[in-house]
């Protein structure tokens, strides 16, 4: 998957470089690409209603940073010309950009881009820094001399993205918590913790067992949270959230079917579990018994357990990448991963208060088929939710 993302990214860059070298990035309202020589004719069609300037950018875009620096100087020269700023990392901005894309009949609008009323769109650094100032000044002069000049102007918005944590009504919180809890009772992380506690209890003190259990749980939490955050931001920065969402939805359904088939026909077909080739490595790190080795164990389990119920996490990440900005992503991933480690903490507390680890493992073995069936059904349901877009 990493190679696919890398190939897509570099292909996009090459296409973008080719396009910028061959054509001016200036578009009329009917989607026609024009040269700078045609702007005079376009300007003759301007009306006072075109005195509206909407700028779309990304905080992670190098070209956008250059345009932002240029616009700061522009505002000093022309404080009376108002520009709307919209960061495409925000969900509402993506919706607005799609409206402008449809209005201007653009196949693929890329940031940085400024829309001038219903007249023209300037896309890329050179087009904006070269042509926006004379166009906007000319239109402002038209407004000043026109009888129709009393038209509503654009609302002033900050030139930087507000540092406000986005509220989380976009994805149902119960869905995030429920998915995290379900992922947390998966057989992989569950059984390793039980075996670890039993081993520490047999060779060391109960205090060491408690500390070891907490270190293991913390390691799983940190790895899962950072991995989810990295994947979410990568998907958003590459602007492939919609494609990734479809991929995650299909993968979740496939994983769910594999889980259910494994329950109905045990021993037949593929099994979603920690790879057999890695179980020896996990056992070696567990038997070292030191706190650093236990932390490494937690990271390894977080990495190798992805085949168990990774479909659930990918499904949730796809929702987060598609529906929220960076602040919403931080919030949702935090809630998900707190719910994810909650079953591990409950097991740790139960063992601390006298429940033998063997008893917990017996319960796991007795209920493993029921757990796999429930997880499989939920995976399929999550996949359907993602592909249909219902509930969020």
pTM for this one?
Answer: 0.59
Sheet strands side by side (includes 26-28): 33-34, 26-28, 120-123, 113-116, 53-57, 83-87
- Rg of the chain over all Cα atoms, to the nearest angstrom: 27
Residue 41 has what pLDDT?
A: 77
Residue 170 has what pLDDT?
A: 59
Query: Is the pLDDT reported for residue 78 higher than 80?
Result: yes
Q: Are 391 and 175 in contact (CB under 8 A)?
A: yes
The predicted-structure confidence for 148-161, as pLDDT tens digits, reads as follows 444 444 333 333 33
Residue 54 has what pLDDT?
A: 92
Which region, left, alpha or beta, applies to residue 47 given φ > 0 means left and ψ of -120 to 50 means alpha?
Answer: beta
Query: Is the pLDDT reported for residue 225 higher than 90?
Result: yes
Distance of CA 278 to the CA centre of its chain: 29
Query: Is the pLDDT reported for residue 146 higher than 70?
Result: no
Mean pLDDT over residues 200-226, rounded?
A: 81
**What is the DSSP code string of 129-159?**
HHHHHHHHHHHHHHHHH-TT---PPPPP--S
Which region, left, alpha or beta, applies to residue 391 given φ > 0 means left and ψ of -120 to 50 means alpha?
Answer: left
**Average pLDDT of the chain?**
76
Give the C-alpha separation, 235 to 8, whole Å: 12
Please give the span between the terminal C-alpha atoms of the chain, in angstroms, as a whole number: 26
What percent of the chain stands above pLDDT 70?
Answer: 75
Is the domain covering 22-145 a CATH 3.40.30.10 domain?
yes
Distance of CA 374 to the CA centre of its chain: 26
Q: Are 298 and 212 in contact (CB under 8 A)?
A: no
Instruction: Work out the pLDDT band at 3, boundaries 50, 70, 90.
Output: very low
Strand partners, 123: 113
Of residues 20 and 178, the one with the higher pLDDT is: 178
Closest CA to 138 of 200, 204, 51: 51
The predicted-structure confidence for 241-273, as pLDDT tens digits, reads as follows 778 888 888 888 888 888 888 888 876 766 666
Give the three-state DSSP class for 28. strand
Burial environment of residue 148 by CB neighbours within 10 A (0 to 12, 13 to 18, 19 or more)? exposed
Give the C-alpha separation, 237 to 233, whole Å: 6
Instruction: Work out the pLDDT band at 169, boundaries 50, 70, 90.
Output: very low
In the chain, what are the domain boundaries? 22-145, 173-388
Query: Is the pLDDT reported for residue 167 higher than 70?
Result: no
Closest CA to 344 of 202, 140, 208, 185: 185
Mean pLDDT over residues 339-347, rounded?
A: 87
Mean pLDDT over residues 192-209, rounded?
A: 69
């Amino acid at each position: 998957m990493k190679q696919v993302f890398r190939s897509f990214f570099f292909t996009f860059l090459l296409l973008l470089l080719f396009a910028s070298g061959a054509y001016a990035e200036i578009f009329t309202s009917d989607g026609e690409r024009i040269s700078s020589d045609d702007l005079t004719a376009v300007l003759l069609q301007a009306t006072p209603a075109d005195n509206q300037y909407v700028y779309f950018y990304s905080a992670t875009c190098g070209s956008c940073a250059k345009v932002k620096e240029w616009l700061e100087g522009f505002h000093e020269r022309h404080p009376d010309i108002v520009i709307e700023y919209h960061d495409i990392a925000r969900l509402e901005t993506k919706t607005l950009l799609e409206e402008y894309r449809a209005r201007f009949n653009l196949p693929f609008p890329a940031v940085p881009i400024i829309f001038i009323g219903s007249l023209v769109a300037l896309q890329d650094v050179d087009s904006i820094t070269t042509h926006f100032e004379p166009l906007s000044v000319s239109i402002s002069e038209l407004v000043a001399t026109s009888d129709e000049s009393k038209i509503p102007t654009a609302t002033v918005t900050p030139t930087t993205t507000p540092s406000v944590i986005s509220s989380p009504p976009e994805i149902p919180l119960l869905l995030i918590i429920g998915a995290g809890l379900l992922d947390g009772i998966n057989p992989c992380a569950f059984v390793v913790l039980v075996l670890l506690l039993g081993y520490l209890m047999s060779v060391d003190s109960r205090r060491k067992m408690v500390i070891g259990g907490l270190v293991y749980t913390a390691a799983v939490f940190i790895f899962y949270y950072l991995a989810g955050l990295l994947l979410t931001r990568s998907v958003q920065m590459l602007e492939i959230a919609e494609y990734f969402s479809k991929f995650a939805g299909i993968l979740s359904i496939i994983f769910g079917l594999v889980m259910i088939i494994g329950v109905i026909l045990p021993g037949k077909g593929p099994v979603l579990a920690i790879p057999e080739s890695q179980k020896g490595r996990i056992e070696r790190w567990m038997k070292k018994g030191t706190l650093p080795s236990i932390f490494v164990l937690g990271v390894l389990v977080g990495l190798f357990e992805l085949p168990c119920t990774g479909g659930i996490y990918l499904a949730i990440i796809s929702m987060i990448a598609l529906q929220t900005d960076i602040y919403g992503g931080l919030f949702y991933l935090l809630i998900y991963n707190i719910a994810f480690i909650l079953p591990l903490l409950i097991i740790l507390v139960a063992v601390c208060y006298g429940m033998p680890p063997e008893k917990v493992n017996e319960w796991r073995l007795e209920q493993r088929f029921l757990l796999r069936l429930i997880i499989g059904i939920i995976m399929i349901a999550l996949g359907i939710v993602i592909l249909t877009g219902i509930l969020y």
